[in-house]
Structure 1
């Protein structure tokens, strides 16, 4: 691992190595990881050094390319070995559908050799930036139509910026786009317990972009809405069911309930690759539960009694009926009126 100039992308390929921003080190250190094996890449995904649904999908595709080159024989790769690595990569984080989607795309090029697999992964990196830009502009247009008469006070949760994608971001990208349009009054950033992706990553990205923000204790978000401090909630998604139920970072469901109670628009921004249309609804989404030590300790120190158990799901599922709109690069989908698209 190295400390080096900041990448404009969270991921890149460098001479047979996957290079990624180590999101565990931010904001104190901008550190790059050089991942030379599939095992190293899987560990980076599991430990959240690489995180964000689009980013882990792209990392998975690069991982297939990494495996194809490592198992190369002549112009081709050993198919059984690469498929075994692809299966392990897909299992690294089960909730985000982008991971399996991107791996399938990369594996589909395996018969053409390692160069073809890498070309497909690199094409996905380029596509991700274009897709995000289209979704961001569509989402910003929607927010302006929902709150047309003043700068907007936005609440967001977790991190959905360029760190969570190849570039641009989703919900956070829309916030930065609104800022460029001079339509942001303030952003309340949920700290995102237990690993503080909001406090560490979103606040860092907003600061770099010059967007005014304040950190918000997760448990204070509903109170902020009750006090009239929030005009709109913008979040991302890790998986979207066919009916518009959305899996996202734990705490999203509670925000949606509070927003519905106070009549506040709740908007999800995510690429089409986050949709799992084979799932009728959110009841079929597998929610990853993470290690109790993420909750029972903080900054290397125990904060709970020895042996304390913990309920530590990484995600929750928000019913579509609580969502104002889901915005992708192609559409604005309103789950409570499924046929209405803009």
Structure 2
């Protein structure tokens, strides 16, 4: 049986209409690891002998990813499975979730899920438990956005209250719904030597800090995710569950890739360094780092190349 040190050493390695969303908001609203060290060929490793922070995907890590059919969420799912982990995609029935899961093989499953539905989330957690035995990691990438000024002076039209409430419900209440239910499933895990049972990674946005014109609903929802990170981390500390939030900047998600090249180049130049769009795999890499580092807890991490959005 390898020690923790031995395990560490193993392996190889356009916005003209005021009611239309700003291009940057379109990007950030898109739903959003290599967890590389493995065991030498032929070695037998008992995952229960290692702290969760040192468990590599090859040893049986199980994750669930909301919004996992596209964008940052899909990149996270693909990386987990590619490195030997198991994953359950939680996404809407009309999404590409089933197709993505089938393409990744038996270590991936799809559970049609509206994150605001208690029944849907419970079904997804049950699928993870029955198919893969447990839940170690939860990554919340599901989210939506609307674009409208608080009041459109040209059209004499106030922001739709229904739209505002819908964004808040999906982005904040939906994220919280997954957290509160997944925590109960993680609490069934045997703790490691630190009492560690699981990790939850949420997705906010730089819009939580640098909200632009037309982003009142979106920024408020992402600010809510930022704001609940620390208190939830404190709530779940006695259970040995860590909570960390990533706030991405401009990433090359499918929605952005569909924009004209001129627009993409303009956006890339807004990033100080590296002066380009983020790759979804870089988001997934940060998820890996959060999983592996046991002292990351109750924190919000900007992943934006020093970007600060203009009004």
Instruction: Give me the TM-score of the superposition, normalised by structure 1.
Output: 0.37
Structure number with higher relative contact order (C-alpha < 8 Å, ≥ 6 residues apart)? 2
Higher strand proportion = 1
Instruction: Give me the TM-score of the superposition, normalised by structure 2.
Output: 0.40
